[in-house]
Amino acid sequence: ISGVPFNYFPDSISPLAFFTRWEIVSATEARIYFNFPMDVSVLDPGLYRLAPSGQVTAVEWDNASQTAIRVRVRDAAFGALGYPLSVILEGGSAQNGAPMAEKEGNIATFSDFKKDLSGVYVYPNPYLLHTEFDGIRFANLTQTATVHIYDVAGRKVITLSETNGDGGLEWNLMDSWGKRVKPGIFLYRVMEPEGEEVLGSFSILE
pLDDT higher for 206 or 108? 108
Residues contacting 70, CB < 8 A, separation 6+: 25, 29, 30, 31, 59, 60, 61, 62
CA atoms of 3 and 154, how far apart (whole Å): 36
Interior angle at CA 163, CA 157 and CA 167, nearest 5: 90
Residue 5 has pLDDT above 70, yes or no: no
**What pLDDT score was predicted for residue 206?**
79
Strands across the sheet containing 184-191: 127-128, 197-205, 184-191, 145-151, 156-162
Domain 6-110 shares a fold with domain 121-205? yes
Cα pseudo-dihedral 49, 55, 57, 59, rounded to 10: -30
Conformation bin of residue 167: beta by default, left when phi > 0, alpha when psi is -120 to 50: left
Q: What is the pLDDT of residues 13-53, one digit of tens each?
A: 558 999 999 999 998 999 999 999 999 999 999 999 999 88
Q: Which of 86, 36, 31 is nearest to 61 (CA)?
A: 31
Q: What is the pLDDT of residues 86-108, one digit of tens each?
A: 999 999 999 999 999 998 899 99
The domain made up of 121-205 is a member of CATH 3.40.630.10: no
The domain made up of 6-110 is a member of CATH 2.60.40.1220: yes
Q: Which of 157, 162, 171 is nearest to 191 (CA)?
A: 162
CA atoms of 32 and 54, how far apart (whole Å): 17
DSSP state of 36: S
**Sign of the torsion angle spanned by Cα atoms 109, 74, 32, 41:** positive
Task: Spell out the domain ranges in the chain.
Answer: 6-110, 121-205
CA atoms of 186 and 53, how far apart (whole Å): 28
Q: What is the pLDDT of residues 116-148, one digit of tens each?
A: 999 999 988 999 876 556 789 999 999 999 999
**What pLDDT score was predicted for residue 3?**
55
